[in-house]
Amino acid sequence: MNKEIFKLYDIRGEYPSQINEKEVFEIGFKSTSIFRKGAKIVIGRDARLSSPGLSKALENGLINAGFEVFDVGIITTPMLDFAVNFFKADGGIVVTASHNPKDDNGLGIVDSSGLFIGGRDLFLKMSSEKNNFKTTYIKKENKIKRENLDLKYAQELSEYFDVSKKIKAVVDCSNGSSAPVIKKIKFPKNVEAIIINGNLDGNFKAHGPDPTQKIAQVAIAKAVIKYKADIGIVFDGDGDRALFADGKGKIIRPENIWRILAQGARDKKQSVVFTVLCRYMMNLIKNSSGFSNEFNFVETRVGHLFMKEVCRKEKAFAGVESSMHYYFPEDNFSGSAILAMIKVINSISKLPYDFYQLSDMLPKVFVSREINFKFDLKKLPVIYSKIKKMFSSRDNKIYFTDGISVLSSDWWFNVRPSNTENLVRLNIEAKEEIKLEEIKKYLTKILSK
């Protein structure tokens, strides 16, 4: 097996040079290292061009290893949790590379509770397997059950609508796997949903599968203005990220989306879970909105692997990541972007004014897009020491939750290693642009050496 494709969160690589049918067959066959022999395993896939072939190879690997397979076809990644629960299966595997470029692909593997199993843990377990096998596809159709769950999943999500006034929404499916579900969602009569880029296309021709890219953000802004909509939503390639735009086409940060959702929280003093990259904005919101006494703010590391576990442990009201992932208890914190859309539509429908007017009231800061540096990760302790020495003062707080973070009243930054590459990632936010540039200049100098 190719060790390089086993990342911290999942399995991912470029097709076919890194991940291909042979690799995926072997992973399927060696899944006896994580699931009992004869276990029920659900498989699904996204809309990428390479996904059908990889899914077939996975299916054959699992069947040859003695598993009972439930193939649910094209799904969003959060649907895997739903499908595992629906079939009372022992686990599930989805073929997807999420928001990555179209030529990438991968696998996400969950246990019976819907929690993802990290790629590095998978490699350690699978590489110890002594089984010998040949890459031969033995057809055992009696071991395979095929069922489309789009309608059942859409019906369950539709139950969460609670809309108080008329809302017009532009819903951009990004040519990805959220499209079949969105088309079956039962929108209330007072919600006019205009679905765009709803055709499945593994080339993601509209604007690619990543809503954080400028091309996707410009597209939704134009669509919102064109249709005179109240809100715009963009899903990523596998339906676990949602970008939101207001009625003027302005992109709303995930932390501010949480603030909007929190306005309608009935049972106060619940937990909200967020990652280290949300710390500065969440602090601003907490201190400016009176939420400090109403919610328990819980911070964790970046990534769904950590978010889901902590959200469940805390029985959180919601979880939020700066990467536009949202987590809710209603669906076992699966990270459904479609559920996030429903809950945000519900919330803005209860505002006494338009959504864009609220967004004008939200905290504003200058933000550096994530900056990546090629770096020898063994040298990070020295860099952390330099940063700590440079920024130590009674006005600054220094954290080591995920890399190193320095928090001041007017600015914040985080330096952390990539979980998938030999890179160091830098994020900076500040109330004044001149301060952001000052910090950026200093950190770029020491991280570029």
Q: Give the residue numbers marked as catalytic.
A: 98
Would you say 126 and 1 are in contact if contact means Cβ atoms under 8 Å apart? yes
Of 159, 340, 370, 124, the C-alpha closest to 235 is 340
Query: What counts of helices (H) and strands (E) characterise the chain?
Result: 14, 21
SS3 308: helix
What is the distance between the alpha carbons of residues 203 and 175, in angstroms, rounded to a whole number?
Answer: 8
CA of residue 292 relative to chain centroid, distance: 26
Q: How many CB atoms lie within 10 A of CB 115?
A: 18
Q: Tell me the three state secondary structure of residue 311.
A: helix
Tell me the chain's radius of gyration from C-alpha atoms: 22
Neighbouring CB atoms inside 10 A of 385's CB total 11
DSSP string for residues in 1-63: --GGGB-SSSEEEETTTTS-HHHHHHHHHGGGGTS-TT-EEEEEE-S-TTHHHHHHHHHHHHH
CA distances from 241 to 77, 160, 234 (A): 10, 18, 8
Token pair in block for residue 210: 């990543």
Rounded Cα gap, residues 27 and 23, in angstroms? 6
Give the position of tokens 């395979």: 144
